[in-house]
Structure 1
Amino acid sequence: MSNSQIVKNFIAAWNENDIDKACDMMSEDIFYHNIPMEPVKGREASRAMLKAMGPLTDVNWELLAIAENGEVVMTERVDRMTMGGKKVAIPLMGIFRIRNGEIYEWKDYFDLGDFQRQMAG
């Protein structure tokens, strides 16, 4: 399976609203950084942080573009979901590093101010 396909499967797990399935695709020692927030290290710490976002509904990560170069997979996405009753659409760039079929690094770059405005509105 290509590294791009692994990331597509990861996105599909999110679109199924299955955080556990998505987290199971991560390595035990994953480095997860939702920039500009604080990074998280480890699968279980990442799972706990992601679940702490609260119940998500209407999850739809729209993949606009994907590129692969060796272990690196870059995505341009719009992550749409309902969080705490608020509909949000977050344009972002994601970078994934894959080793032995697992995501061992995940960084998403997005505009925190835009996200905060959507949550406040």
Structure 2
Amino acid sequence: MTEHSIDLGAAASEEANIATVEKLFSALRDKDLDTAESSLSDYVVYQNVGLPTIRGSKRAMKLFAGMQRPSMGFDFKIHRTAADGETVLNERTDVIAVGPVRLQFWVCGVFEVRDGRITLWRDYFDFFDMTKALVRGLLGAVVPALRPTL
């Protein structure tokens, strides 16, 4: 291969890894826990940096199951995605809705995908940004015109 040639097999693998990550997020948005769980390795490590680490798909799914109440919702918008082999990076906006309160905040995610399943999910976010999201979400619950939208 030349310096500028593309390894089509590696590119296809990276695209498949990106698709696995996107499938997980779509399933969580759609409250499809079976599909979400099928995206995770049994031994997944799920980290929200600064918060306790969750180990194993069963524990991660227990957390997500708690967010499946009718009054709760999750949405996301991926702004950028990059892949290098088994590693997928994305920059996104996540939305967590609890009744009329909508928290919308920036997240950068790192994923390791092996054999079509996520083995590592590490999210980085800013606690100050989360605090602003909470204030804006609470204000938006009272004044709908202030409610954030994707």
Q: What residue identity is the alignment partner of 1:48?
A: K
Q: Which residue of 1 aligns with 2:101?
A: 86
TM-score relative to the length of structure 1: 0.86
- Conserved in 2, the CA contact under 8 Å of 1:77 and 1:92? yes
The 3-state SS of whatever aligns with 1:38 is coil
- Conserved in 1, the CA contact under 8 Å of 2:105 and 2:133? no
Give yes or no for the alignment of 1:98 onto 2:113: yes
- Conserved in 1, the CA contact under 8 Å of 2:31 and 2:68? no
TM-score relative to the length of structure 2: 0.71
Q: Report 1:49-68 matches (<5 A).
A: 49-53=63-67, 55=69, 56-57=72-73, 59-68=74-83
The 3-state SS of whatever aligns with 1:114 is helix
Give yes or no for the alignment of 1:38 onto 2:52: yes
Instruction: Label 1:51 to 1:112 Cα distance change in 2 as closer, same or farther (>3 A).
Output: farther
Please report how far the alpha carbon of residue 117 of structure 1 lies from its aligned counterpart in structure 2 after TM superposition.
Answer: 4.3
The 3-state SS of whatever aligns with 1:79 is strand
Distance in 2, matches of 1:115 and 1:53, equals: 18
Distance in 1, matches of 2:128 and 2:67, equals: 17
- Conserved in 1, the CA contact under 8 Å of 2:106 and 2:129? no
- Conserved in 1, the CA contact under 8 Å of 2:96 and 2:103? yes
Please report how far the alpha carbon of residue 60 of structure 1 lies from its aligned counterpart in structure 2 after TM superposition.
Answer: 2.1
Please report how far the alpha carbon of residue 53 of structure 1 lies from its aligned counterpart in structure 2 after TM superposition.
Answer: 4.4
List 4+ stretches of structure 1 deviating above 6 A. Answer: none
Residue segments in structure 2 that go unaligned for 5+ positions in a row: 1-12, 139-150
Q: Higher RCO, 1 or 2 (CA under 8 Å, sep at least 6)? A: 1
Instruction: Label 1:53 to 1:37 Cα distance change in 2 as closer, same or farther (>3 A).
Output: farther
Query: Over alpha carbons, which structure has the higher Rg?
Result: 2
Q: Which residue of 1 aligns with 2:4?
A: none
Correspondent of 1:21 among 22, 30, 35 = 35
Aligned length: 120
The 3-state SS of whatever aligns with 1:36 is coil
More helix by share: 2
Instruction: Label 1:54 to 1:8 Cα distance change in 2 as closer, same or farther (>3 A).
Output: closer
